[in-house]
Amino acid sequence: MTGRGGERRGGWRARLPGSAAPARLEGRAAVLRVYGYMFHRYRRTWRGTITSSFLYPLMYLLAMGIGLGHLVNHHLAGASSPVGFSRLGGVGYVTFIAPGLLAATAMQMATNESTYPVMEGVKWARTYLAMLAAPIEARDVQRGQLLWIATRVAISGAVFLAIMAAFGDVLSPYAVLALVASTLTGMAFAAPVAAFAVTRENSTSFPIMYRLGIVPLFLFSGTFFPITNLPGWLQVIARVTPLYHGVELCRALVLGQMNAASLAVDTGYLACLVLFGVYFGGRTFAKRLAQ
Amino acid sequence: MVEARGLTKRFGDFTAVDAVDFRIERGEAFGFLGPNGAGKTSTMRMVSCLSPVTAGELSVLGMDPRHEGPRIRGRLGLVPQEDTLDLELSVRDNLYLYGRYFDVAKAVLRPRVESLLEFAHLTDRGGDKVDDLSGGMKRRLTIARALVSEPELVILDEPTTGLDPQARHLLWDRLYRLKQDGVTLIITTHYMDEAEQLCDRLVVMDHGRIVAAGSPPSLISEWSSKEVVELRFASGRQEEMAGALGGFAERVEVLPDRVLLYVDDGDEVLLKVREAGIRPESALARRSSLEDVFLRLTGRSLVD
């Protein structure tokens, strides 16, 4: 060390190559440094995620669409009532559920990615704590994690959409925007769930949340049948759940049956949830990580 | 480098750090010695800007942690008490990705990672998963990782706790090299030998307070005698024998398993004790250590 006023060269440093670049706050934003770590780490571990990201959606489409869909289509075609296919927006069963599944799998994946990996970061592997020793703050960790989850959800959404297109279930060029919609749906879950997950000491509440929250939403938010089939009071509940709006949004875009008012309501509702989660999570992450 | 006045940390009703004052100069190795729960880690977390200051003044590298936490952390190297290595990744990746947290440019980082692997004696393990390393290797990797941003100040929270003697000596050697190279070190420990080996100056902490401060030799000469005679008697008889030994030393301490006599010349006193017909089961004369200082100041041992 030479001098006392902040000059910081010499000594052991001189032996290390590239001594000219001290850490500073300029340069990449802290959020991107967190994101960069997750991206780099995923490059080492991505193989293990193929099943959940790509194969599950494909299996759902095959089972529900080809298997169950055949029965449903047969029934609707032979229906004596004038309703028939119009109940499904005038399309076959697979085409009806595919965009719903797009939204529902985004929800599932986002929820999964914002529970266990957050617990991993804060407690099991303590990777968040390593980040905080650098010029990175708790809210940067939160936002970097969310950005990474959004990337994962978007990638698997893109694959899902491509499979749908291959099956002939994409009816409108606006389907490209369904990728944004499904990612938004995922983040409407991920942001608040991560905010909650970071406050936990262990993972016991995660399966409960999944069983009491995610599974009922998956089944009753209009993914597999129009919610108008539900009793009135359940319809009311379904309409206030986030997944319902995600499903509606994705379906409208994929089938090309858009209506400006519902698009605005669905998008606004989901965006509010994301904003709430980001704001609330900024506080819970800071509270947990900076004591 | 670091200056604290009346520095206090409270968690609810519990006061972990109770109005401590200290000043750490550039280039020195400064120690915080004390038993578990003395407030060392809480102090370190405040100095590393990981934990907000409850009350008092703290300045790190001339900046206020309250407002410039990330800027300060950018110039610190932190070795936390528990490793935060990514066990799934390789040794080399751990160094590399940690460097990227500090936004060290890739071209600068690659050769630096190699020289740090060498520094940590881990060159031939660079491609291995961290999970496969021994405790001592992980600790060396954590220290190497803390150096990846070329910090001016390195904070080590119990760097060798839980390591075997050989691993500890290798680690001390690395820390000694850092010190030689002019890096300012802050070390917390509950091992007096570690504090004596590495620290130029230290403070002794107990119950959140600083009870003494100085260099290891000055603390010993201020708070203890030159030498110590340790006498071990049959269990349960230490207290009783201590009474008979009062005349031989300026001060007598009774521990559960032995009696300590604080004296100027240990061998001479040992001889006198034998002449007086006192027969301990074992006897030993040694130089005073920081352990004796701690015992004197708090009435308790450092490590039980």
Q: Give me the residue from A25, A27, A127 closest to B86, CB to CB.
A: A127
A267 at interface of B, judged by CB pairs closer than 8 A: no
Q: Do A133 and B62 make contact, defined as CB atoms within 8 angstroms?
A: no
Q: Indicate whether B301 belongs to any domain.
A: no
**Same-domain status, B88 and B230:** no
Cα dihedral value A140, A141, A143, A144, nearest 10: 110
**Same-domain status, B28 and B106:** yes
d(CA A272, CA A262): 15
Q: What is the pLDDT of residues A219-275, one digit of tens each?
A: 999 999 999 899 999 999 999 999 999 999 999 999 999 999 999 999 999 999 999
Find chain B residues with C-beta within 8 A of A132's C-beta: 50, 73
Structure tokens at A3: 């001098």
Q: Indicate whether B303 belongs to any domain.
A: no
d(CA A54, nearest CA chain B) in Å: 23
Spatial contact of B33 and B195, defined as CB atoms under 8 Å apart:
yes
Instruction: Write down the pLDDT at residue B225.
Output: 86
d(CA B223, nearest CA chain A) in Å: 33
d(CA B138, CA B130): 7
**Same-domain status, B174 and B229:** no
Q: Give me the residue from B51, B150, B183 closest to A22, CB to CB.
A: B150
**Same-domain status, B247 and B205:** no
**Same-domain status, B90 and B237:** no
Q: How many CB atoms lie within 10 A of CB A204?
A: 8
d(CA B59, CA B65): 7
**Same-domain status, B189 and B263:** no
**Same-domain status, B133 and B32:** yes
A48 at interface of B, judged by CB pairs closer than 8 A: no
> Is the pLDDT assigned to residue A187 strictly greater than 90?
yes
**Same-domain status, B202 and B137:** yes
**Same-domain status, B113 and B174:** yes
Q: Indicate whether B219 belongs to any domain.
A: no
d(CA B86, CA A30): 19
d(CA B74, nearest CA chain A) in Å: 5
Range of the domain at B197: 2-214
Q: Indicate whether B300 belongs to any domain.
A: no
Instruction: Write down the pLDDT at residue A49.
Output: 79
Residues 178-237 of A with CB under 8 A from B: none
User: What pLDDT tens digit does each residue of chain B (304 aa) get?
Assistant: 999 999 999 999 999 999 999 999 999 999 999 888 899 999 999 999 999 999 999 999 999 999 999 999 999 999 998 889 999 899 999 999 999 999 999 999 999 999 999 988 999 999 999 999 998 899 999 999 999 999 999 999 999 888 888 888 888 888 888 898 889 999 998 888 888 889 999 999 999 999 999 999 999 988 888 889 888 888 777 877 777 787 888 888 888 888 888 988 888 888 888 888 888 888 898 998 888 888 888 877 665 5
Find chain B residues with C-beta within 8 A of A23's C-beta: 74-75, 102-104, 149-150
Residues 109-168 of A with CB under 8 A from B: 125-127, 129-137
Q: Do B102 and A135 make contact, defined as CB atoms within 8 angstroms?
A: yes
**Same-domain status, B108 and B255:** no
* Cβ-Cβ contacts under 8 Å for B189 (sequence gap 6 or more): B31, B32, B33, B158, B159, B160, B161, B195
Number of domains in chain B: 2
Cα dihedral value B149, A34, A206, A60, nearest 10: -140
Spatial contact of A247 and A221, defined as CB atoms under 8 Å apart:
yes
Find chain B residues with C-beta within 8 A of A125's C-beta: 84, 86-88
Q: Do A12 and B177 make contact, defined as CB atoms within 8 angstroms?
A: yes
Q: Do B74 and A36 make contact, defined as CB atoms within 8 angstroms?
A: no
Which residue, among A13, A45, A140, would best test binding to B if mutated, counting the most B CBs under 10 Å from its CB? A13
Q: Do B70 and A8 make contact, defined as CB atoms within 8 angstroms?
A: no
> Is the pLDDT assigned to residue A136 strictly greater than 50?
yes
Q: Do B50 and A133 make contact, defined as CB atoms within 8 angstroms?
A: yes
Q: Give me the residue from B26, B104, B115 closest to A4, CB to CB.
A: B26
d(CA A13, CA A19): 6
Last residue of a domain, one of B181, B214, B247: B214
d(CA B90, CA B130): 6
How far apart, in Å, are the Cα atoms of B131 and each of A43, A115, A277? 18, 23, 34
d(CA B62, nearest CA chain A) in Å: 9
Spatial contact of A243 and A100, defined as CB atoms under 8 Å apart:
no
Q: B246: domain CATH number?
A: 3.30.70.790
Mean pLDDT of A52-59: 76
Q: Do B101 and A125 make contact, defined as CB atoms within 8 angstroms?
A: no
A91 at interface of B, judged by CB pairs closer than 8 A: no
Show me where the domains of chain A are located.
Answer: 29-76+90-289
* A162 vs A70: which has the higher pLDDT: A162
Q: How many CB pairs under 8 A join A and B?
A: 133
**Exposure string over B195-220, b if 16+ CB within 10 A, otherwise e:** bbbbbebbbbbbebbbbbbbebeebb
Nearest-Cα residue of chain B relative to residue A4 = B26
d(CA B157, nearest CA chain A) in Å: 13
**Same-domain status, B88 and B209:** yes
d(CA A246, CA B204): 60
d(CA B58, CA A2): 24
Find chain A residues with C-beta within 8 A of B102's C-beta: 23, 134-135
Instruction: Write down the pLDDT at residue A80.
Output: 58
Residues 207-226 of B with CB under 8 A from A: none
DSSP for A107-136 reads: HHHHHHHTTHHHHIIIIIS-HHHHHHTSS-
> Is the pLDDT assigned to residue A280 strictly greater than 50?
yes
B48 at interface of A, judged by CB pairs closer than 8 A: yes
How far apart, in Å, are the Cα atoms of A101 and each of A104, A158, A181? 5, 13, 13
**Same-domain status, B63 and B189:** yes
Last residue of a domain, one of B214, B242, B264: B214
Q: B42: domain CATH number?
A: 3.40.50.300
B32 at interface of A, judged by CB pairs closer than 8 A: no
